Structure 1
Amino acid sequence: MLTASEGCTPAWRDAMKRACGRFGERPSRVDPFQSVFAMPVDRSAWMIVQVDSLGCDDQGRPGALAFHALFVSPWSYRRAGACPLAFAPAFRNDWTAADQNTPLPRGRVKPVNLGKEPSGEVDARIAPIVDALSRRRRVVVQSERPVDTLMTSAWRRLSGGTKRRTRAASWAFGNANEFDFVALPRLGGLTLDGSELVLTAESATSRI
């Protein structure tokens, strides 16, 4: 862990380390990407994390990932629409060894307004996703890249209560973090009990 803001508690740091360690093993031949996941730390905070593929680390080793976590109160998360992608303006990806032990400032962010769904073609997977999450069913999407657009469209249709309880990842390499909504590059090795809604990378569309 390179650095943190003043006030970032040891418990929050430990929670971040555990969550990042459970993100999963990176498969071979993965294109550069950015993804986001969110989960509650405890009653005091939600953790929203951007995962960024750096290419190589400071020692030239390939496959390096950088994790930048924001810790916000449940009230702040609720006010932001309880959507992990709404916090995109606060993330950075220009991490270097020079950041080591240089405290980060505490800050404010204006969350992205998801707005209304554009008219036209709609991914047919959205309705089943909304129905499943509303019924507390886990949703697993197989995809070769982060599913930001699909996730945003689904979140527009979820009730506030459902969004506030849903642990979500727009892309991960495994589901040891027990996300309620997660996109994965492959499903092999994932333990499923048959209650999940499992969707393929191919999207069907319908017109609204």
Structure 2
Amino acid sequence: MKIMPSILGANSLELAKEVTRAKEAGISGLHIDVMDGHFVPNLGFTAQNVKDIKQNFPEMEAEVHLMVANPEQMIGDFIDAGADTIEFHIESTTNAYHLIQQIKKSSVKAGIVISPSTPVSVIMPLLELVDQVLVMTVNPGFGGQSFIKEMIPKVAELAGIKNSQNASFEIEVDGGINDNTFTFAKEAGATVAVAGSYLFNGNNFHERLSRLI
């Protein structure tokens, strides 16, 4: 199972050191949260941050999670910044199909995100188009929240659809991931896990990572 450290949980004043710490532990990609203070009541990273990360750590995959209103206004900036994957919330747009086209025509992977209150049925028509589905296991907008175990049936539902359709999309979970909740998600069929506070708050990143892989 692939682990994507969320730099929202890192020390923002020493971000380069934190990314280096993840890299030295064997991590090959980062989850980068972008928030606008409107779709969620918080602020996150910017396209410039993504550009800086890619310039200094070009080998690191940059997975951008847009928690913003009107994501269509930002997609181009993050493509230009070097994002490898761009994920947006289905709740944030009425133009999901167009957004996926816009992302993929630039050879960037496209992901769709569902918040805890959104059922899998809402994104069914998009599953054959996307590279990844992110199931939020906390309410979007803040790091350090507790895992919502009731989201596990969504993961299992997506895994069942993926298997029945012989599809290739990744199933990602984000929020409250630690060595206990990771197991629930993996057993349900998740293939990617985002972990922020759990990894970066510890003194030994590698030791905490080893509990997840």
Shorter-chain TM-score: which interval? under 0.3
TM-score of the superposition, structure 1-length normalised?
Answer: 0.27
RCO higher in structure (CA 8 A, sep ≥6): 1
Structure ranking higher in strand proportion: 1
Structure ranking higher in helix proportion: 2
